[in-house]
Structure 1
């Protein structure tokens, strides 16, 4: 970890003392957004009882946050270029903290949902530009290590969320879950304002129509996928998905003509970027699908208690926390695509072994299989993220960051929706896990397609470093 804060002659990025404060601001902002979802899920029964609403309606306390967050990721990535990433991050944090206070004070569902939507907006502002800020904060030679740290933070948030929620709910009521964000958020705000890199905004207009079409595309897509997962009428789900498709086609057409496109389509002309995005989306489909499917497998078919099930999930994020930083550091030295491929192979083996579990299996049988999945995902994600960020020019960093965050969110949500579709068709849970294996194999194909490309890019970068003494991302 100390290597991340070394300064060498010719380094780009921030000086080491400012780098520490800026990274802490990013860590706190990311943790609040990630932990929020997982710990609020535990509180849904308490919220339903306290507000006298049905369990089905209480689910929207989580769903609305996720839908709003996903719909605005690309929009905020573009906004950051106009007002600067520092200002957007600070504004997003401030909105998240104020909305958390409002949620804590809410005493009826509509008020709570309004503040949850505002929380989703704030989270979208911070998450959309997080990876691009890591690229600005750290020297180019440490980009993989920095993104490994990011993976560690996200995995730690997912692992800690249920535990934090359970501890708070054992001694206090659900509003205190939102109160937790207040001191951390204020501290993160002060750090972000002081330490995040200052940069000028881009001169030029904003693609308002593109923003509206992006929000419509992603918002309708997520509502439609939620419909698949929660058994909405077929016509309703198809209507939302059709609306998403039409809005998406209009969005692409708009981006080709806009003077200042919300999402420069030229990004996808870079094969390393396109293949890394494809691999990421498919891998997150597999992860999102597996997390939900295992809950049914462990409890309904294998007879484990909810507490045992929670413990069986733990090795996955813990393995990512252990392997992610190491994988990121290795990605700065060796071909990151090779590391991603190795991780996907381990992830496939882990998923296949979970699909082969029988009803008589013991807790230890689930633990090592889940740990193997986490090991593979931790080895895959940071090098793959490095490829996404390093394969595009600096001026497109915010757009690439928005694509990365959107791909992760859409992939996980699509995985959850696929579980709902399989269960609605009365398919066995094991069939769902095999679908996750198929997604993993497709991700491996995409990752293999860029092994040679990444190797050539790293060799070119080393030649540039040798000539100038100053490393840079190409």
Structure 2
């Protein structure tokens, strides 16, 4: 029988402490592969947008919704699905999300019009949300407590590797086939991950409280409208439209907080944010992913418009950052099992800030090596920060609230990336071609703020879970 636990109270030791090594390895393979698929989907869709627009005979402005609806569906449902995972079990949410993602990929590949593709992309976003909302929680129950940092590091390694080579693979597929194949390739990988996950993912303790359906709707509308508002600002929508989306989203969030004030496991986990370590770690995550969002949006324009490099060269220059992140993630994970996350994360963000400042001050005609080593420094800093911070977020939450904490991990990442992209767009609006340099300098500032918050964690204690 599965043990049921009260939300917010200590639970039995993580199941990973008793999981056989071989089963643990295969469980991590299933988790990492599925999350890598979901994380890559936005990048792959970005590459396919011109081909989709031509094939479906739609405008560039309309085809952008192929990316937007996926992101909105993903972000809006992260917290509700994380909360549901605490009640029905993380394994069910994960496998259900993986199944929906795989079926929706087939729907994308078979789409015959923009509306049919958008419907499939919404379903794909919901499936990806099922994966990402409980991903970190599942790893907490797969690895022994003494190796939890290493587990997060290996997961980040797989995702980072996928980010590094995914766009190149997507470009190769488009060189020999049409855009539906970019979605169809998810199907065999999804089916294999489902088969492995059914056999290896552990069942986890379940909370006793019921699921608040109205609260879930409020959370989805709140997050969806806020992300839509930030995206609208990035795409230069009218001030009235942006303000309306943000104000209504924030108002719904306040209604949700009041509604769940006495709930044992609120959908918007205010109870977890009362823990200083959790709050500082989550805020630090938003800052770091904002830096990444700023960098990944502004740097291609910087390389092509300022340095006059080709698209092929730009792709090469963008590779060192995620590649070094993938290399550093497991190293940071091992270190986080022995050293404070506040120290490791602070050092990592200082390095990231230095890298962004070095990129902003590149000479007028830099050599290839001059660009590559600066990008590598950014990857070194981000990779050194990422895994210890993730470990800090999850370990500072009670095991019975792992679903809520896991939802915040994914929400912080996507919120930071979206905010960074919007700020990069604002810099271009204010400074034209010089906007890339302004954005990189702003990214260095965000990294500095994040490092200060990370070092502040050295002054607080992590509560026992």
What TM-score does the superposition give when structure 1 sets the normalisation length? 0.92
Q: Which residue of 1 aligns with 2:45?
A: 40
Q: Structure 2: how far apart are the matches of 1:435 and 1:251? A: 33
1:287-306 Cα shifts (integer Å, max 9, x gaps): 10111111111111110111
Instruction: Answer yes or no: is the 8 Å Cα contact 1:32–1:181 preserved in 2.
Output: yes
Alignment of 1:122-141 (within 5 A): 122-141=127-146
Q: Conserved in 2, the CA contact under 8 Å of 1:40 and 1:165? A: no
Corresponding residue to 1:244 among 242, 246, 249: 249
Deviates more, 1:279-288 or 1:200-209: 200-209
Matched, 1:431 2:422: no
User: How far does residue 11 in structure 1 lie from its aligned partner after superposition?
Assistant: 7.2
Alignment of 1:22-421 (within 5 A): 22-258=27-263, 260-421=265-426
Question: How far apart are the structure 2 equivalents of 1:73 and 1:440?
Answer: 25
Partners in 2 of 1:348 and 1:259 — Cα distance?
A: 39
Q: Distance in 2 between matches of 1:259 and 1:151?
A: 31
Cα deviation per residue 1:379-436 (whole Å; 9 max; x = unaligned)? 0010111111111211111111111110000000000011112222235221111111
Is the Cα–Cα contact under 8 Å of residues 129 and 401 in structure 1 kept in the other structure? yes
Matched-pair contact (CA < 8 Å) for 1:207–1:258: no
SS at the partner of 1:12? helix
Alignment partners' CA distance in 1, 2:419 and 2:334: 30
RMSD of aligned residue pairs (Cα, Å): 1.6
Q: Is 1:446 aligned with 2:438?
A: no
CA contact (8 A) 1:229 1:418 kept: yes
Q: Which runs of at least 4 in structure 1 moved beyond 6 Å after TM superposition?
A: none
SS of structure 1 residue aligned to 2:261: helix
| Distance change >3 Å, CA 11–CA 410, structure 1 → 2 | closer
> Gaps spanning 5+ residues in structure 2: where?
1-14
1:48 and 1:54 in contact (8 A); partners too = yes
Cα offset for 1:240? Answer: 1.0
Decide whether the 8 Å contact of 1:207 with 1:260 is kept in 2.
no
Distance apart, 1:358 and its partner CA: 3.4
User: Is this contact kept in 1: 2:16–2:142, CA < 8 A?
Assistant: no
Q: Return 5+ residue gaps in structure 1 as ranges.
A: 1-9, 461-472
Question: Could you tell me how far apart the structure 2 residues matched to 1:167 and 1:181 are?
Answer: 15
